[in-house]
Structure 1
Amino acid sequence: MRVVTISATYGTAGSQIGPAVAERLGVPFVDRAIPSAVARELGCTLEEALAHDDRAERGLGRLLSGTMRLPTVTFGGVDMYVPGAMPLPPEEFVRRTERILLETAQERGGVFLGRAGAVVLAGLPGALHVRLDAPIERRVRQTATLGGIGEREARKIINENDQARVAYVRTFYKTDPADPRQYHLVIDSTTIPVPACVELIVLASAALD
């Protein structure tokens, strides 16, 4: 049973590489199922769960990084933007996310994208932790090309997503997601083609046996 966590900056093809690795390893690709499971557990709407999820287009990271302009409340002594009144504190959503990550990894294995997986599953034997990253100029070009948008718009999207994902990890785990010491493998997937990235990750996962 294989477990791989992937931390991917925006524009590094994480949403392509993750499913391809999962298919090669014969395990689930665990991404959108997480907020759905959190919503079921907490009895809230999927929209509420996504508002606290670092992979969503309007996830908690955007609230923490200040890129959303919503009513301000005080959270932990710090003014921040939140989408109206929250039925539960953000920590509860994060805690449930952690538990679902761990239980899924132990029961079925999987390839997990984002959500500080390298930190949450750091103690799981045999888990491979991967970071996909590249200089912003190459990520801008790749995002613009794949998305059919201009480089200016691509840069704005990347900056907002970078801030959001960094904010999520730093706020709840007090660590820098770019720290290479958290990973077994760091890949520039804007230079190395996606199929080669998939092959590298599959080989590295097998090497941990």
Structure 2
Amino acid sequence: MHLQPSLGHAEAYLNVHLSRAGRRPSGHESGPFVTVSRESGASGSTFARALATRLDRDLPGETPWTVFDRNLVETMLQSEHLSPRLARFLPEDHVSEIDASIGELLGLHPSIWNLIQQTNELMRQIARTGYAILVGRGANCATDGIGGGLHVRLVAPAVVRSERTAAEMGLTPEGAVHYNLRVEAARRNYVRSVFATDIDRASAYDLLINVATVDPDLAVDLAVRTLLNRVGVPTVA
């Protein structure tokens, strides 16, 4: 299985696929690509890695399918020749206006809004190039209107998600609940601030999967079959 979230995979993807401008030739079709939105504790990264492995088999490209998750901002900063330390100003939430303003006034970093827009543009370039899975950061909104994509959202009851978070992060049940609430609020604020929409809007997704009741392998299979159908590749019953 590919260690998909690594920055090395992202760098290799960009080196093979994207020029500095990051555009495909005129008339070239976009995609295929997948965006994954997830509630905290819904195992979005695990799903994305498993999906990449399946797509490598069922819809292979020039290079392995690449997951852009926590590595996305670092990849954007590297492509723009900016300091990786700026990543701390770009969590999946709107940055404190006070912190951002002070940094900009002192010349510590470029406009936070500009960095966010550069990240969104990188997501669009990746979507047009294809063979990538974009996790979080409102990727479905950033790539809205680009053909060849599948937009997935993973959800589960709060109690299930808190149990998973507690097990994965070694937190107490109460700590896991608090963590998930904080992360969910941050993601909701980010999408609202950047895209002026609600992260929970069901019509923004092609598949809404309850990972508490749908087996992980079946969830991956649903996504693969839906994407194959979308790009016109026959599937075996």
1:85 to 103, 107, 116: 103
Match of 1:49 in 2: 87
Q: Aligned to 2:176, what secondary structure does the other structure show?
A: helix
Unaligned runs of 5+ in 2: 1-30, 57-64, 232-237
Q: How does 1:54-203 map to 2 (within 5 A)?
A: 54=92, 61=93, 63=95, 73=98, 81-82=99-100, 85-86=103-104, 87-203=109-225
Unaligned runs of 5+ in 1: 55-60, 65-71, 74-80
- Give the deviation of 1:149 after TM superposition: 2.4
Larger radius of gyration: 2
Q: Aligned to 1:85, what secondary structure does the other structure show?
A: helix
Equivalent pair of 1:134/1:190 in contact (CA under 8 Å): yes
Change in Cα spacing, 1:170 to 1:62, as seen in structure 2 (3 Å) is closer
Cα separation, 1, equivalents of 2:49 and 2:165 = 19
- Give the deviation of 1:83 after TM superposition: 9.5
Cα separation, 2, equivalents of 1:153 and 1:62 = 23
- Give the deviation of 1:62 after TM superposition: 6.5
Q: Aligned to 2:145, what secondary structure does the other structure show?
A: coil
**Larger relative CO (CA 8 A, sep 6+): 1 or 2?**
1
Cα separation, 2, equivalents of 1:161 and 1:83 = 24
Matched, 1:28 2:66: yes
Q: Aligned to 1:130, what secondary structure does the other structure show?
A: strand
Q: TM-score, normalised by structure 1?
A: 0.82
Cα separation, 1, equivalents of 2:173 and 2:101 = 30
Change in Cα spacing, 1:83 to 1:194, as seen in structure 2 (3 Å) is farther
What percent of counterpart residues are identical? 24
Q: TM-score, normalised by structure 2?
A: 0.73
Cα separation, 1, equivalents of 2:143 and 2:41 = 24
Matched, 1:37 2:75: yes
Equivalent pair of 1:5/1:111 in contact (CA under 8 Å): yes
Large movers: runs of 4+ above 3 Å? 81-84
- Give the deviation of 1:101 after TM superposition: 0.8
